[in-house]
Amino acid sequence: MAHEEKVGVGRLAFYYALPMVSGGFVQFVLANYVMKYATDVLYLAPALAGSLFAVFRLYDAVTDPLCGYLSDRSSRWGRSGFIGYGGALMAAGYFLLFVIPHVVGEGGIVRAWLFGVALWVLFTGLTMLYIPHYALGAEFSAKDQARFFGSRSVAENVGTFLGVLFVAMKNEAPVQTIYHEIVFSLLVFFVVFWPIRRLGGGLRGRFVEGSFFPSLGEVLRNRAGWGVLVITFFSQLAATAMLATNLYFCEYVLGKPMMGPIVAGLFLVMATVSVPFWVGLISKEGYLRVWGGCLGLLVVGFALAWPVGRVYPSGVLYGVGSFIGFLAGALLTIHPLVLAEVSTFFDKKGRSAIYFALFTFTNKAAMATGVFFVGMVLELSGFSPGGNLSSRLEIGLRWLFAGLPLVSMLIAFGVFFVQRSISGAAHQKE
């Protein structure tokens, strides 16, 4: 990008990354608080809330390729237009989601309908933010991509950490004043809109020719990317199951509700501060060693999480959460870097947005699957807000918090060694 020389790599990386603060904030709130908000504040049935979330998360996922295609082809909006409108929709969806208790009584049908509409607006905005933003990272010069993707991961994790503080506040006072919700929604929009305006035309991307289905078909025939996507799916499923269950696990199994936000915060802090370490280690050792080692260690981390509160004290969870977060920082950096290499090595037409659309589709499908499992298992385990912990509920929560993530990471670890084609581009570079 010529804009790198005009603005400067450091400043451009800052402007490029900043919108992901809002993205990370909204993603965290959706993944880690919305289910509890729906069941404990809106009083929706767990199965209904989980099903609604899964439906709109899947809608969010299946619209990714179309958004990527339009982003690649848009000469009027460009990448910046998609990102800016995405920020506006996220702000509107956030406000609608948390204004429900202020405007609707305890009628379940109306609340469920508004809950679904809010999810639809939020997920549409997230798609319009994430797809073009990922694609831009692949368009910067190869020597600077690690810096841009690393900055992006840090910004997203900063937003996620703000989400932790938000969840802690909501745990203390689930229904804030309507003025609080207005301020938060405006901040969500401003953090996206301001850097886009500062960059101006520097985020327009490039126009790619070709109709939608043939372009998508060619990308889907790229076998080298499938291994990355499968590993991404199971890694994200593991993280979603753990984080979506975290508040329930700490409150009902460990009897310490305030541990939940702290554990999530430690996870996110370690995933953020570890990024420079992983970028340096990747440059020195290469992708494959770091990638495989982290996948294996994540298996160990989730195995350690299962007996918390039984075999050893609940406080050990702070260390386990930090350890898993430290390793997660590596995957947040490695997965988009490897996919960027796969897309440029095997596809010379510049369709980076479609590749990253499939990448985000995979992440979102995994999130939808994880939250759906949480809702179903809670329902089958006899969960009721504020109720007692039965043995069946404890087993269900332990399975969601550690068992399902452990199985998911075992699959991801196995795929890493079986599907060698994922490393073709990395081998070429190294």
**CA distance linking residue 253 with residue 354, whole number of Å:** 42
Q: Which residues, 6+ apart, have CB-to-CB distance to 95 below 8 Å?
A: 181, 182, 184, 185
* CATH number reported for the structural domain that contains residue 124 in this entry: 1.20.1250.20
**CA distance linking residue 425 with residue 429, whole number of Å:** 6
Residue 364 falls inside a structural domain: yes
Which letter does DSSP use for residue 249 in this model?
I
b (16+ CB within 10 A) / e for 46-72: bebbbbbbbebbbbbbebbbebbbbbb
Going by C-alpha positions, the residue among 198, 202, 196, 201 that lies closest to residue 86 is: 196
Contact by Cβ (8 Å): 295, 413: yes
Contact by Cβ (8 Å): 228, 363: no
Residue 113 falls inside a structural domain: yes
Residue 67 falls inside a structural domain: yes
Residue 1 falls inside a structural domain: no
Q: Which residues, 6+ apart, have CB-to-CB distance to 341 below 8 Å?
A: 425, 426, 428, 429
Residue 2 falls inside a structural domain: no
Which letter does DSSP use for residue 253 in this model?
I
Contact by Cβ (8 Å): 240, 401: no
What pLDDT is stored for residue 337 in this prediction? Answer: 79
Q: Is the dihedral of CA 260, 244, 234, 188 positive or negative?
A: negative
**CA distance linking residue 335 with residue 225, whole number of Å:** 11
Instruction: Walk along the chain (430 residues) and give the pLDDT tens digit of each residue.
Output: 455 555 566 777 788 888 888 888 888 888 778 888 888 888 888 888 888 888 887 787 778 777 777 776 655 556 777 888 888 998 999 888 888 877 776 657 888 888 899 999 999 998 888 888 877 766 665 566 667 777 787 888 788 778 878 877 777 766 666 777 777 788 888 888 787 777 654 444 454 555 555 556 666 666 667 778 889 999 999 999 998 899 889 988 888 888 888 898 888 789 888 888 888 888 788 778 888 999 999 999 999 999 988 888 888 999 999 999 999 989 988 888 777 777 666 555 555 667 777 787 788 788 878 888 888 888 888 888 777 888 888 899 999 999 999 999 999 999 888 765 455 444 444 4
- Helix, strand, or coil here: 312? strand
Query: Residue type at 218?
Result: E
**CA distance linking residue 146 with residue 269, whole number of Å:** 20
Structure tokens of 21?
């603060």
Residue 312 phi/psi, 5° resolution? -140, 165
Residue 24 falls inside a structural domain: yes
**Residue 161: other Cβ atoms inside 10 A:** 21
**CA distance linking residue 329 with residue 346, whole number of Å:** 27
Residue 78 falls inside a structural domain: yes
- Helix, strand, or coil here: 308? strand
Structure tokens of 259?
């541990």
Q: Is the dihedral of CA 370, 376, 379, 382 positive or negative?
A: negative
**CA distance linking residue 184 with residue 397, whole number of Å:** 31
What pLDDT is stored for residue 110 in this prediction? Answer: 82
* pLDDT tens-place string over residues 279-331: 888 878 877 888 899 999 999 999 999 998 888 888 899 999 999 999 998 99
What pLDDT is stored for residue 357 in this prediction? Answer: 75
Query: Residue type at 133?
Result: H
Domain of residue 242: give its range: 7-429
Query: Residue type at 303?
Result: A
Domain count, the chain: 1
Residue 173 phi/psi, 5° resolution? -140, 85
Q: Is the dihedral of CA 132, 133, 134, 137 positive or negative?
A: positive
**CA distance linking residue 180 with residue 414, whole number of Å:** 46
Going by C-alpha positions, the residue among 12, 29, 240 that lies closest to residue 125 is: 29
Residue 46 falls inside a structural domain: yes
Q: Which residues, 6+ apart, have CB-to-CB distance to 357 below 8 Å?
A: 64, 65, 66, 67, 68, 69, 131
CA distances from 121 to 59, 93, 118 (A): 11, 5, 5
Query: Residue type at 363?
Result: N
